[in-house]
């Protein structure tokens, strides 16, 4: 019985998250204990988003207005037509600053 209810809750939640799942087809949603879990955000298997089930209605509303473009590790807000980039500043002595590379985007 619990498994049947669990499957029903997942199916209902996926229906409600149709916009998010359509815009982010590599992601999936499931429940773990008292949390709504989004797996593979940005198509990255090493990440999950954990959201409180208590705030499920608001979480669904927010998720449905997001596109998580893997190419940029960013958050695109469809409701405001804005993009947030995820990054951090690098310290002056960080070894990454001595690395060299060629950056290509769309074959340019």
Which tens digit of pLDDT belongs to each residue from 15-72? 999 999 999 999 999 888 888 899 999 999 999 999 887 788 889 999 999 999 998 8
Give residue 2's pLDDT.
58
Question: Do the strands 28-32 and 82-85 form a parallel or antiparallel pair, or are they unpaired?
Answer: unpaired
* Integer angstrom CA distances of residue 11 from 15, 28, 31, 72: 6, 12, 11, 30
Among candidate residues 47, 53, 46, the one with its CA nearest the CA of residue 13: 53
**Where would I find the H helices in the chain?**
2-16, 18-23, 56-63
Residue 98: other Cβ atoms inside 10 A:
7
| Banded model confidence at residue 74, pLDDT cuts 50, 70, 90 | very high
């Amino acid at each position: 019985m619990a498994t049947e209810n669990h499957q029903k809750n997942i199916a209902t939640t996926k229906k409600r998250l149709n916009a998010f799942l359509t815009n982010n087809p590599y992601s999936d949603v499931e429940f773990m204990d008292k949390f709504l879990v989004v797996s593979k955000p940005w198509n990255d298997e090493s990440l999950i988003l954990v959201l409180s089930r208590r705030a499920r209605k608001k979480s669904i509303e927010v998720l449905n207005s997001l596109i998580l473009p893997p190419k940029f590790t960013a958050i695109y807000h469809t409701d405001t037509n804005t993009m947030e980039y995820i990054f951090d500043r690098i310290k002056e002595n960080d070894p990454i600053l001595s690395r060299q590379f060629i950056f290509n985007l769309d074959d340019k």
